[in-house]
Amino acid sequence: MQFFHTFQYINCSNNPRNNQFALVYISYILDIRFFISMAVHRSHTSTRNPEDAYRGFGIEPIAEGEETSREILLHLLQKAEHNFKNVACGLVPTSFDPHDPLLTAFPRPLQWKWPALQRYLQTLQSASVMMLLPQFWQMQSCIHRECHDVAALLFIADIANTPIAAAATESLSIDTVITSTQDCSELLDYLSEKEMPAPRSWVFVHDANKPTPHIPENLRETHSVVQEIHIFPCVPIFEQCGSLIQRHSNRFHTSEAYVWEFKDDRTLITSAREDPLPLLKYRLPFTAIQTDMCPCGKVEVEYHHE
């Protein structure tokens, strides 16, 4: 495995005269099996129907009406790896763990946008954002696009260098951190040790394959906290609205990118949009339950792992 490092200045302002720059340290990892990137490949594909989309990757879709388990999906993706370079798509890892023995890549739309993140940043009135997530998750590009669209400065931090991340919270007046619970805890411990104030808003990305991690009570009580659930990095399925954020709720709304089937013992999703490789009755690793109607007009959902 090879490592390449670069320093970049990223301008996240819509106004070119507004010189909001942040020094960004990015690690690029080239894996011998594939290079996970948000790059344009050679040919274009149109997902007129799921069968065409799957065959464009050289694989056959599951039979109509059949459910797709995680194991089946990963097996199909591994067979499709050699065709990724021939399809116009972005690629993200299929695991939050770089040491996952079943790790492969999952195709995403080119220039995929994260509309929920833009809503969070607007709701939180974020002006200066820190991304504190593993570089391996490949979320830099989509976070940068959303910060650019709301004219927010973006600083990409590395938890391996906590002192620099902590210093950036003061020197760049960071008001919002996009992170995981593990990385959040390390930064909070350091800030507390140095008697430095924590940023006022936190956006957490959770792995759907694990129970929802515990948010520190002192953070939940005194700061704005947003939670979102992803099945893979950059593949969100549960999001929160302003009402859920204000109530510090552990409930969610379903992503409109999927058609949902709520069954007694399982929950299935099917891609509702033209994804490069649509999910077809994909079985989520938990059971979701629809609960109350939210003041925003959407149904609230809870989920529970077995």
241 falls within a domain: yes
180 falls within a domain: yes
Least-confidence region, from 6-10, 34-38, 197-201, 245-249? 6-10
- The label of the residue with tokens 């299929």 reads 94
Question: What is residue 48's predicted lDDT score, i.e. its pLDDT?
Answer: 59
21 falls within a domain: no
User: Could you give phi then psi for residue 267, rounded to 5 degrees?
Assistant: -130, 130
Mean pLDDT of the region 278-285: 96
97 falls within a domain: no
Question: How many domains are contained in the chain?
Answer: 1
In angstroms, the CA 203 to CA 174 distance is: 13
CATH of the domain at 182: 3.40.50.12780
12 falls within a domain: no
pLDDT of 40 > 50? The answer is: no
Mean per-residue pLDDT of the chain: 85
Q: Look at strands 235-239 and 253-254 and give their pairing.
A: antiparallel
Question: What is residue 60's predicted lDDT score, i.e. its pLDDT?
Answer: 92
**What confidence tens digit (pLDDT) does each residue in 202-236 have?**
999 999 999 878 888 778 778 999 999 999 999 99
* Containing structural domain, residue 141: 111-304
220 falls within a domain: yes
Question: What is residue 167's predicted lDDT score, i.e. its pLDDT?
Answer: 96
Question: What is residue 155's predicted lDDT score, i.e. its pLDDT?
Answer: 97
43 falls within a domain: no
The pair of structure tokens assigned to 205 is 């990305």
In angstroms, the CA 236 to CA 222 distance is: 26
pLDDT of 31 > 80? The answer is: no
Helix axes of 162-171 and 181-193: crossing angle, nearest 10 degrees: 70
**What confidence tens digit (pLDDT) does each residue in 227-272 have?**
999 999 999 999 999 999 999 999 999 999 999 999 989 999 999 9
In angstroms, the CA 217 to CA 235 distance is: 27
282 falls within a domain: yes
Sign of CA dihedral 103, 108, 111, 112: negative
In angstroms, the CA 106 to CA 99 distance is: 16
